[in-house]
Amino acid sequence: MTTYNANGKQQWSLSYRKSTLRPNFDVLNPFIIYLSQYAYAQGNPYARASVTHRVELSYSYNNEWLGALSYARYINPIASVIRKLADSGAIVSTTGNLTSADMIGLDITWTKRLLNGHWTTSTTLGSYYLQFHSVKDHTLDKQMFSTYLSSDNMFMLSKSLKGQLNASWYSPQIDGAYRYQSMFTLGLGLTKTILRNNGTLALNVSDVFNTFTARYTTISDGLTITNTDHPESRFVKLALTWRFGNKNVKTTRTKPTGIDDVKNRMGN
């Protein structure tokens, strides 16, 4: 990464990163999960790792505004695909490697303390253009321009009470053979300091309006399928944290190990 400080308020950064994404174990698992008498899902044990080359130019102003322009090139990207068996006519939902993909993105983030520090907001507006390339199946040569908006807000209601409001909206997106419609979710929370600042009581509600629904259309291998998935996404959580003992003991630093990559591939 290269950084240039124009002055006390402006900073430019240019970075390049190469990364490897290995398939999760559930993607490689060849076991069959029946969805209906005509369709089933199955992992692909021959799915290969995907390599990403990413270049990003970022700009920050006064620690309030952050903009990032990026380009990413994906080799063998992992994507969801649909196949129809010629002998039985059954529909198989699986995962495979496409030839490549290109993505150009622009993100703008605004972080600000308002109302004399009683309201802290961090809002991001992002857009990107994504294009998939497939030599074996040209029906997967898809491209789309997408936008998303997210906002994280913290409110100081009193010295011991905080409120949180988090909202996210996504325009239609593509993932391999899948074209998802727009989605929206809203979360709320309250945090109360108790026990002479030695404990906290937190109440959180995720997806308050129960709107985080995946509606998508699949066009692949001569098939056009429209579906709606609505997994449980609205949860109410109440947590109590109590800190006791010697508070001057230094915390143990956690060092990354090779097992972390395995945990991620297991979905943990």
Parse the chain into domains and list their residue ranges: 2-248
Say which residue, 85 or 246, is predicted with more confidence: 85
Return the pLDDT at 175. 83
Q: What is the mean predicted confidence (pLDDT) over 239-268?
A: 67
- Please say if the pLDDT value at position 260 is more than 80: no
The mean predicted confidence, pLDDT, of the chain is 88
Q: Alpha-carbon distance 183 to 170, whole Å? A: 5
pLDDT band at 248 (very low <50, low <70, confident <90, very high): low
Q: Alpha-carbon distance 59 to 69, whole Å? A: 9
- Please say if the pLDDT value at position 119 is more than 80: yes
* pLDDT per position as a tens digit, 143-160: 899 999 999 999 999 989
pLDDT band at 240 (very low <50, low <70, confident <90, very high): very high
Long-range Cβ contact pairs of 227-235 (< 8 A, separation 24 or more): 233/185, 233/206, 233/207, 234/205, 234/206, 234/207, 234/208, 234/210, 235/204, 235/205, 235/206, 235/207
- Please say if the pLDDT value at position 266 is more than 70: no
Q: Alpha-carbon distance 190 to 205, whole Å? A: 9
At the second CATH level, the architecture of 2-248 is Beta Barrel (2.40)
pLDDT band at 26 (very low <50, low <70, confident <90, very high): confident
Q: Alpha-carbon distance 3 to 10, whole Å? A: 11
With contact defined as beta carbons under 8 Å apart, do 23 and 95 qualify?
yes
Mean pLDDT is lowest, of 18-32, 83-97, 170-184, for: 83-97
Q: Alpha-carbon distance 11 to 66, whole Å? A: 10
Radius of gyration for the alpha carbons in the chain, expressed in angstroms and rounded? 23
pLDDT band at 53 (very low <50, low <70, confident <90, very high): very high
- Please say if the pLDDT value at position 43 is more than 70: yes
Return the pLDDT at 237. 95
Q: What is the mean predicted confidence (pLDDT) over 8-26?
A: 91
